């Protein structure tokens, strides 16, 4: 085997390895496509609010329903019962009179809007306000959001999101030191909403 032929074989081998590595790269468009694929995702959540002034986190539990074309139902069950609806039109809270719009200002409203963007895989919307760093593969990935603008930097230090087929964990680290950890458990994918969910999100 001549030296020239060996060089050609080496070059071809390196090119094949490089192509395989490129093919295996998991990027933001792929993540967006993966998360936006299911029509409906349902599951349970546990939310822990860690405040610097308290030795133990404030814990709440409930269920969520994410509909690709409509929005998010966030159904709090413990320690109190309260239903929220998050859509492109804004945030609403269920009352005896029906759904009532929530004040769109403040960090809580901002967090809820971020939940919708994150869970639905809207990475283009997230990129308008954050630098995005993605690691991992389709089965186990981690996305770190670092705020760009001065206003968001006053609210968040960063947001850490993890998942596989769907989002499983969201951690919001606030600029003042508090943090919120949300774990999404037992997520199930479905093709359609129930009649009750349809009324809450669409009608």
Q: Up-side HSE of residue 76: CA atoms within 13 Å toward CB?
A: 15
User: If you search the block for the tokens 């929220």, which residue do you land on?
Assistant: 84
Q: What is the pLDDT along the chain (203 residues), one digit of tens a residue?
A: 555 544 444 444 444 444 444 445 899 999 999 998 999 999 999 999 999 999 999 999 999 999 998 999 999 999 999 999 988 788 899 998 889 888 766 556 666 677 788 888 888 889 988 999 999 999 999 999 999 989 889 989 999 999 999 999 999 999 999 999 999 999 999 999 999 999 999 86
The C-alpha atoms of residue 196 and residue 156 are separated, in whole angstroms, by 35
Decide: 54 and 145 in contact? Cβ < 8 Å: no
Q: Write down the domain spans for the chain.
A: 3-201
pTM attached to this predicted model:
0.81
Distance, C-alpha 32 to centroid of its chain: 10
CB atoms within 10 A of CB 40: 19
Q: Find, among 89, 94, 59, 48, the residue nearest to 74 by Cα.
A: 94
36-77, pLDDT tens digit by residue?
899 999 999 999 999 999 999 999 999 999 999 899 999 999
Q: Match domain 3-201 to its CATH number in 1.10.150.120, 3.40.50.150, 2.50.20.10, 2.40.50.140.
A: 2.50.20.10
The C-alpha atoms of residue 127 and residue 182 are separated, in whole angstroms, by 21
88-98, pLDDT tens digit by residue?
788 899 998 88
Decide: 148 and 133 in contact? Cβ < 8 Å: no
Distance, C-alpha 78 to centroid of its chain: 22
Tokens of 134: 């993605």
């Amino acid at each position: 085997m001549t030296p020239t032929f060996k060089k050609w074989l080496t070059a071809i081998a390196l090119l094949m390895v490089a192509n395989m590595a490129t093919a295996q790269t998991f990027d933001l468009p792929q993540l967006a496509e993966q998360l936006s694929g299911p029509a409906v995702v349902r599951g349970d959540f546990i939310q822990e609010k860690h405040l610097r002034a308290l030795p133990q986190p404030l814990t709440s539990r409930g269920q969520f329903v994410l509909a690709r074309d409509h929005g998010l139902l966030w159904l709090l069950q413990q320690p109190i019962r309260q239903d929220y609806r998050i859509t492109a039109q804004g945030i609403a809270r269920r009352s005896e009179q029906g759904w009532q719009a929530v004040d769109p200002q403040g960090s809580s409203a901002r967090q809820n809007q971020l939940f919708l963007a994150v869970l639905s895989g809207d990475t283009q919307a997230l990129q308008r306000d954050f630098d995005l760093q993605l690691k991992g593969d389709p089965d186990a990935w981690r996305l770190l959001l670092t705020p760009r603008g001065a206003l968001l930097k006053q609210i968040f230090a960063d947001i850490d999101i993890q998942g596989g087929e769907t989002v499983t964990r969201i951690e919001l680290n606030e600029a003042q030191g508090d943090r919120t950890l949300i774990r999404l458990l037992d997520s199930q994918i479905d093709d359609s909403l129930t009649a009750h969910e349809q009324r809450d999100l669409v009608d």
